[in-house]
Structure 1
Amino acid sequence: MKTVKLLALFFVANLAFVGCSSDDDDHHDHDHEEELVTTVIYALTNGNDVVTLTFQDLDGEGGNDGTYIVSGPFTANTFYSGRITLLNETESPAEDVTEEVEHEGDEHEFFYISTPNDITILKTDVDDDGNPIGIETTLKTGDAGTGSLTIILKHEPNKPNNDTPTDAGGSTDIEVTFPITVQ
């Protein structure tokens, strides 16, 4: 019995050692904890025409459902400049998680999927390797109609990719879908 306990202790100690080992060849900082994101704000502007998409879930995943707020309709056939902000509002003051995503740009990428497909979103910011991040965007609306806009943040995606979350792989840090109207 003593041998079994010693073997079990050795096995657990070995797992802990392997799990905590570092790979000196890997220049990415993978030791960070996953940040809690309670709030997503996607602000889009064209002069005085401002549309803000906000998702908030202060108790996190698994608690109460989050709330989705769209400040108003988009104008048809119009260009908007966009910027996404991620917050952890369980801290006071709220932590701006966007800064970490930007700092670790080579390990993150936002994807934007709209229906109908006549809304075009271009990512205008890039990481140190010249690959898109998607914190800053340009959005062009199409004709009037209703639909949805899904925002997905991938962690450790394949870069470059074909601008789809499926091709990018990685894990999904955030996925929110807003109902939108274009007038």
Structure 2
Amino acid sequence: MKHIKTLSVLFILSLTILAACSNDDDPVPVNEEEVITTVTIELTNGTEKVILQSRDLDGDGPNAPEIQGGTLKANTTYSGVITLLNETETPAENITDEVAAEADEHQFFYSAAGIASTFTYTGTNDSNGNPVGINFTVSTEGAGTGVYTVTLRHEPNKSATGVKEGNITNAGGETDVEISFPITVE
């Protein structure tokens, strides 16, 4: 009986030691997807400032995002900057900083539907000279109503045809966020 108790104690001790050991040498780092609740685009032309914003504080919850569009002047060029926030944290986490830090793995794409506008990348490029798109310009051409759509792609193929110029068609990758803002140009 004493022999069985000794074996039981050794067995339990062995299990405890094995459970305490872990492999801390994870070969693949985990890069969690960014939580983006708020997308703000600030467009400026001299002293004029137009704010486009989408807020979705419940993420994939039942409530639709609150989207604020804007009114721009016809035949005018605006400087743009985009900011991404995770407002589920206090204080809100600035996801734009993470996108900038991982510039090789991200690119914003801008497009217009229903209104003539031209988008051009400005600002800092990634380490390979490819655009990220945090900063940009948009030039309006004539009056009308439509939408501006902004898409952030994670791990796009930046060397694919047209991607460097802002054409999302061949970009691939995964969409981190895509928002359409109602726009009036007058």
Same fold (TM > 0.5): yes
Question: 2:115 and 2:147 mapped to 1: Cα distance?
Answer: 10
Superposed counterparts of 1:143-154, under 5 Å: 143-154=142-153
Question: 2:58 and 2:133 mapped to 1: Cα distance?
Answer: 26
Letter in 2 for 1:21: P
Task: Determine whether 1:96 maps to 2:79.
Answer: no
Question: 1:21 and 1:166 mapped to 2: Cα distance?
Answer: 33
Give the match for residue 87 of structure 1: 85
Give the superposition deviation at 1:35. Answer: 1.2
Superposed counterparts of 1:16-165, under 5 Å: 21-22=27-28, 31-70=30-69, 72-116=70-114, 118-125=116-123, 126-161=125-160, 162=162, 163-165=166-168
Letter in 1 for 2:30: D
Give the superposition deviation at 1:117. Answer: 5.4
Decide whether the 8 Å contact of 2:115 with 2:144 is kept in 1.
no
Task: Determine whether 1:180 maps to 2:169.
Answer: no
- Give the CA RMSD over aligned residues: 1.5
Question: 1:118 and 1:160 mapped to 2: Cα distance?
Answer: 27
Which ranges of structure 2 fall in alignment gaps of 5 or more residues?
A: 1-22
Question: 2:157 and 2:115 mapped to 1: Cα distance?
Answer: 24
Is the radius of gyration larger for structure 1 or structure 2?
2
Percent of aligned pairs with the same residue? 50
SS, match of residue 112 in structure 1: strand
SS, match of residue 170 in structure 2: helix
Which ranges of structure 1 fall in alignment gaps of 5 or more residues?
A: 1-16, 23-29
Question: 1:58 and 1:166 mapped to 2: Cα distance?
Answer: 30
Give the superposition deviation at 1:128. Answer: 1.1
Question: 1:56 and 1:134 mapped to 2: Cα distance?
Answer: 20
Which one is further off, 112-121 or 99-108? 112-121
Question: 2:62 and 2:99 mapped to 1: Cα distance?
Answer: 25
Give the superposition deviation at 1:31. Answer: 2.6
Q: Which runs of 4+ in 1 moved over 3 A?
A: none
TM-score, normalised relative to structure 1: 0.81
